[in-house]
Structure formats: structure tokens, C-alpha cells
Amino acid sequence: MCGIVGYIGRRKAYPILIKGLHRLEYRGYDSAGVALINSAGQLNVYKAKGKVSELEAFAADKDIDGSIGIAHTRWATHGEPNTQNAHPHYSESERLAIIHNGIIENYAVLKAGLMKEGYTFKSDTDTEVLVQLVEYTQVNKHVDLKTAVQLALQQVVGAYAIAILDKTHPDTLIAARKGSPLVVGIGEDEYFLASDATPIVEYTDRVIYIEDEEVVTLRLGEEVDITTIGNVQKTPEIKRLELSLSQLEKGGYPHFMLKEIFEQPRTLTDSMRGRVNVRQDNIALSGFIDNKDRFLNAKRIIITACGTSWHAGLIAMYAIEEFAQIPVEVEYSSEFRYRKPVINKDDVVIAISQSGETADTLAAIQLAKSKGAFIFSICNVVGASIPRMSDSGCYTHVGPEIGVASTKAFTAQVVALTMLALCIGREKKTISKEQFVSIVRELGQIPQKIERVLEQNTRIADFAKTFTYTQNFIYLGRGYNFPVALEGALKLKEISYIHAEGYPAAEMKHGPIALISHEMPVVVVAPHCGTYEKIVSNIQEIKARQGRVIAVVSEGDVQVRKIADYVIEVPATEECLTPLLTVIPLQLLAYHIAVVKGCDVDQPRNLAKSVTVE
Ligand code: G6P
């Protein structure tokens, strides 16, 4: 939700800020803006509705001079996405400008107080309230900008990553965070600031991750200064970035989403590297090994996540209950955090998050932690808030996922969770040696098997055209492939704006069957597994009502092939690993339908990749 970038140094700030905004556009893209202090000491703010390219067009003939600046790409929370509500926002005197990612929950009270003092507001945003509060504090308490920011933030309830410019101090950039991410990049005589490291990576690999309630002052010629909002001095911890520029580019693919779908054989190899040892029939997961007892003594495992990550959690429920025989509950983080859940000290809570910044998941683990539960996280972004707040965890190591619709992160989450389920099961002896070995060997085969599924891309693209004008889809699956049905439906909704529902196949009789007609395509995930015969019957029921069936089946399937309208084959594998193969055609189907419909695949309307507001 919203991307922020800042620069202070000797170069021209504007091109660096714009390039940074493009990298962060996945976080929100309904409006964008930039603020620069030029060599004459003027603070210029330019904003435009729409994507960063609109801002570039708008600013093309403006004064974009300056070696210090801040910029923002927005995902609207308070106030509709228009130019007025776009960031940066000026303070009353137009001496300060601010950008903000997060939500100031008590903004209405703060705003009323400031209005009484004669402050006027040009936007509907919570952010403008914050910059006014900083200026008010500075003027009335006669303090410097850093102190004013600290004092203002002490009054704020909510989440923020902010950056502020003061035109009377063109050598200083001040930023702070609580709940929303913020990274500082340290160059030669220059500093960078961003929501994540992607705008920084081409200039430096030295970064500092700012912690909650910290205020950072970046001043040319001086070391980075970090204090808490209560003015306690902190020592900056400089880390090395492990991110390369090529990971952030499309590499010849028309969209990041397609690139990321095709990357999956490699990303899963990376996820398993050093963990799955096929030659020794072994899995070593350090986050598990170091905390074995917590898992072995767990009476229950609670999985908390949102969106696609929640679907990975649902698959994990099947695997953990089957192999480790520990009861599992899978919770939407947003429900879990507010429903006064019973959490015990011997519960293990697994948080799943690609970004590691999802506000609801973060709050869910905060709650579980406060009740003494052990927190294990599965995350992709190294150093993000969720892994930092967890007791232990496992990174998925798939590299940056830029397409808003999650693909490679999902399959890696499933692999990580399957490895965990197998490790617990082996330690508890609730899985037989033979089954353990067989699954480990199959895990090693998964990347090549995904390659085989990807070979059907052109055929999927061909029949996707048939569905350009379709309004509704149903997705069905059973067992391990029920969550895959949900995930397939979600992919289609997210990027093609077609209404799609995922159901456990047997539930069809309890309602959705009423929707079946020749106009309703039904995607059925039906690989060879325990419930195969049952799902064949479900397909018969659909065909009997003229539904059009797209079936994902195992190679060599005979029964479904006879009745389905379109068939996509996946290689045979262990049942618990089938989601890693069956989800691939569903990702491709959604992708190609969105492309033929002319949708913005990588940045679908209204969505954002990183949901840092609840
Ligand atoms: C957003 C993204 C989804 C993602 C979900 C959870 O909705 O668009 O792709 O699955 O957030 O995000 P997380 O980073 O916690 O996995």
C-alpha cells in the first residue's frame, strides 16, 4: 500500500525518484507525486492522478531541479484517488512537504484540533493532518524539525512510514516508521530512502532497515542519525543487500507475471537448495531443527495469512495433519486478530506472507505472541517485519515478486510448508520412512515436472481466447486440490476481473450447481489421487447440465478426457505435491484470459501487492 522514495545527495533527485516509483508501483498506482527543493530553495510539489507515467508527463515541462526530494505512489485509503489527495502534501505555510504510507487512525480528532487553531486542509487525507501537526508543533513549541516530528508522532495512533522535506533545511531529509516498511540506502555522499530495497539496489548494497517508532535524519556530510520517537539514540545497523538488478527486470517477457510463472522451476530449486537432499533422502530446515521441541510439543498449529498465502496455508493443513498428526486451524489474519481467539502457550502459530508486511498478519502474530505462542513465519522478503517479529521461520527465497497476482511465491510457500510438515512428521514418527523418502525424492523432481506443464503454455493461450467474454467461472477441487481451486479462482478475479468462485467439488450440489448452464465454464482440478473417482462423478454432473469443463488431470488420464471440453495434463506425483503442478495451468489460464481482455496484468485495478493497511 503506497510506495515511498527519497533522495539526498549530489545528483539530480528527480530521475532517481521516478525510477524508484516505477519499482514501487506494485504497492499502489492510483496517483503519484514528487516534491523537490531546487537550488533557489523553492519546494516544488507535482502530483497526478493515475500511474507514475502520468506524473512524468505532467512534470515534463516543470522545474524538476534539485538534489533532494521525496516521491510517492498511492493506493487510496482516505479520500478518492485524485490529484488533491495524492502525496506529497504541503503544510499550511508550504514550508514542509510529506509523503506517507499507512493510516493515521486518530486523524479526525487531530484534524479537528488543528482546524480550531486556524489550519486549513486541501485534501481528504489523514496524511495532510500529520504534516500540519508537525508544523504546528514546530511553530508552537519552538523546536527543530526532528523534535517536532518526534512529538507529533507521539500523538499518532496508527501506522506510518513517512518522509518530510523542509525548504528551510535543504540539506536534511527526515523519515520515520511504525508498522509500514522503510529502508535507508547509504551511498557515497548520498542517501536513499524507500519502502523496500528495489529503488536502492542499483546505487548501493549498504542498507539500514528502520525499526518501528524510529526517526531517521539524513543530512549530507553526516552519519545517519536514528532516534526513537521518544528521543532515545539508536546505533544504525548496516546490512548488505542480496538483491540484483536483473531480478527486477522482465527479462524478455511481456509481463512480470508471465516471467514469474515461468521462473517457478528455478525458484523452487532455490527454495529447496540446502534443505532438500535427495541423495541422502533428507530434509534439513534450520528454523525447525533449532526449535524442534516447540513443534513436537504443540497441541495445535494455527496458520494465519491473507490472500494467496492463506491458500498455501490451507494446503499445509492437509499436509501437517496427514504427516505430523497435529490439529491445524487456518485463519484469515483479519478475522483471527479481532475475534478474541483462544491461544495457548503450547500453540505454534505459522504466519505466511510473501511480503512480510501485511498489516493484518503482522497484527495477528503480535496478538499470538502476547499470549505466549511460538511464532514461525514463512516469508519471501528477507528482513521484513513479519520474519523480524517471529521466533523462527523459513524464507522462501524466490526473489522479488513484482506481478501483483502472486504465483512463484505461492508454490514456494507450499514447498516450505510441505518440508515443515515432513520434518515434524519424521521427528514424531507419524510418517513412515518409505513415504517420507518417496516424497523427498518427488520434491526433487518437481522443478522438471513444472517445466513439462509450462510446455502447454501455447495451447492454454489458445483456448483462453474462447473465454474473453465470459462473465463467470467456477473452480472445483477436492482434498489438496481444493485450495488450488480457490487459488485459480482468485487469480482469474484479480487480473481479468471475471467473477470466479472456488468450491470443494462435492459442495457443488449444495448450491453452485444451480448456476451451471452452457454459459458457465467450470475448471475442475482432477489429478489422480484418492478422490479421483468422486471428482469424475462431479464432472459428469456438470456435463449433464451443459456446463463447459476445463479439466486439469494427470498425464495418461482416460476417464476425464472423454467428457471434458478442454484437458490440461500434469505429470503424476505424490498427492501432497499435486498442487505444485495443478496450480500452474490455472495461473497461465488467468494470465492469458487477462491478456486477451486487454487487462493490466501486472497492476490490476484497485489492488496492491503489499497490503500494509488493515
Ligand atoms: C495482497 C496481494 C496478494 C497476497 C496478499 C497477502 O492481496 O495482492 O497477492 O496474497 O496480499 O500478501 P502477503 O504478502 O502477506 O503474502
Q: Ligand 1 pocket, 492 CB below 6 A?
A: no
**Overall size of the chain counted in residues:** 614
Q: Which of 260, 358, 380 to mutate to test the pocket of ligand 1 (most atoms within 8 A of CB)?
A: 358
Cα(353) to centroid of ligand 1, in Å?
7
Q: Ligand 1 pocket, 607 CB below 6 A?
A: yes
How high is the pLDDT of residue 229? 97
Cα(72) to centroid of ligand 1, in Å?
21
Mean pLDDT of 530-540: 90
Q: What is the 3-state secondary structure (H, E, C) of 124-141?
A: CCHHHHHHHHHHHHHHHH
In angstroms, the CA 39 to CA 16 distance is: 17
Atom of ligand 1 nearest to the CA of 607: 8
Cα(486) to centroid of ligand 1, in Å?
14
Atom of ligand 1 nearest to the CA of 361: 15
Please write the tens of the pLDDT for every residue from 195-212.
999 999 999 999 999 999
Please write the tens of the pLDDT for every residue from 235-278.
999 999 888 887 888 888 999 999 999 999 999 999 999 999 98
Q: What stretch of H or E contains 499?
A: strand 499-504
Residue with cell 501483483: 404
Contacts of 188 (CB under 8 A, 6+ apart): none
- Check if the beta carbon of residue 23 is closer than 8 Å to that of residue 73: no
Residue 328, C-alpha cell as written in the block: 491445524
Above 80 in pLDDT, residue 612?
no
- Check if the beta carbon of residue 74 is closer than 8 Å to that of residue 28: yes
Q: Which of 309, 494, 600 to mutate to test the pocket of ligand 1 (most atoms within 8 A of CB)?
A: 309
Calculate the average pLDDT of the chain: 94
Above 90 in pLDDT, residue 155?
yes
Please write the tens of the pLDDT for every residue from 429-468.
999 999 999 999 999 999 999 999 999 999 999 999 999 8
End-to-end alpha-carbon separation of the chain, Å?
A: 10
- What's the pTM value of the predicted model, to 2 decimals? 0.84
Q: Ligand 1 pocket, 198 CB below 6 A?
A: no
Cα(343) to centroid of ligand 1, in Å?
24
How high is the pLDDT of residue 79? 80
How high is the pLDDT of residue 468? 87
How high is the pLDDT of residue 513? 85
Cα(180) to centroid of ligand 1, in Å?
15
* Residues marked as catalytic: 2, 609
Contacts of 113 (CB under 8 A, 6+ apart): none
Cα(578) to centroid of ligand 1, in Å?
22
**Torsions phi, psi of 37, nearest 5?**
-100, 120
Q: Ligand 1 pocket, 355 CB below 6 A?
A: yes
Q: Letter for the amino acid at 409?
A: A
How high is the pLDDT of residue 519? 87
Please write the tens of the pLDDT for every residue from 61-77.
999 999 999 999 998 87
How high is the pLDDT of residue 137? 97
Task: Calculate helix-pair angle for 578-596, 482-496, nearest 10 degrees.
Answer: 20
How high is the pLDDT of residue 75? 85
- Check if the beta carbon of residue 98 is closer than 8 Å to that of residue 79: no
Q: Mark 187-205 as b/e (b = at least 16 C-beta within 10 Å).
A: beebbbbbbbbbbbbbbbb
Q: Ligand 1 pocket, 333 CB below 6 A?
A: no
Environment class of 340 (CB within 10 Å of its CB; exposed 0-12, middle 13-18, buried 19+): exposed
Above 80 in pLDDT, residue 610?
no
What are the E-state strand segments in 196-238?
Answer: 206-209, 214-219, 225-228, 233-234
Q: Which of 331, 354, 583 to mutate to test the pocket of ligand 1 (most atoms within 8 A of CB)?
A: 354
How high is the pLDDT of residue 512? 84
Q: What is the 3-state secondary structure (H, E, C) of 51-63?
A: CHHHHHHHHCCCC
Above 90 in pLDDT, residue 590?
yes
Closest CA to 480 of 341, 366, 578, 397: 578
| Residue located nearest, by CA, to atom 8 of ligand 1 | 609
Mean pLDDT of 581-595: 98
Contacts of 54 (CB under 8 A, 6+ apart): 32, 48
How high is the pLDDT of residue 383? 83
Q: Ligand 1 pocket, 358 CB below 6 A?
A: yes
Residue 576, C-alpha cell as written in the block: 501432497
Q: Ligand 1 pocket, 361 CB below 6 A?
A: yes
- Check if the beta carbon of residue 93 is closer than 8 Å to that of residue 135: yes
Determine how β-strand 239-240 pairs with β-strand 206-209. Answer: antiparallel
Q: Ligand 1 pocket, 609 CB below 6 A?
A: yes
In angstroms, the CA 549 to CA 449 distance is: 24
Q: Pick the more confident residue, 31 or 611.
A: 31
Please write the tens of the pLDDT for every residue from 391-426.
999 999 998 899 999 999 999 999 999 999 999 999
User: Quick one: how far is CA 317 from the chain centroid?
Assistant: 21
Q: Ligand 1 pocket, 16 CB below 6 A?
A: no
Please write the tens of the pLDDT for every residue from 303-350.
999 999 999 999 999 999 999 999 999 999 999 999 999 999 999 999
**Torsions phi, psi of 148, nearest 5?**
-65, -40
Q: Pick the more confident residue, 571 or 385.
A: 571
Q: What percent of the chain has pLDDT over 70?
A: 100
Going by pLDDT thresholds of 50, 70 and 90, the confidence category of residue 613 is confident
The DSSP symbol for 210 reads P
Please write the tens of the pLDDT for every residue from 265-313.
999 999 999 999 988 999 999 999 999 999 999 999 999 999 999 999 9
Please write the tens of the pLDDT for every residue from 467-502.
988 999 999 999 999 999 999 999 999 999 999 999
Residue 75, C-alpha cell as written in the block: 493506493
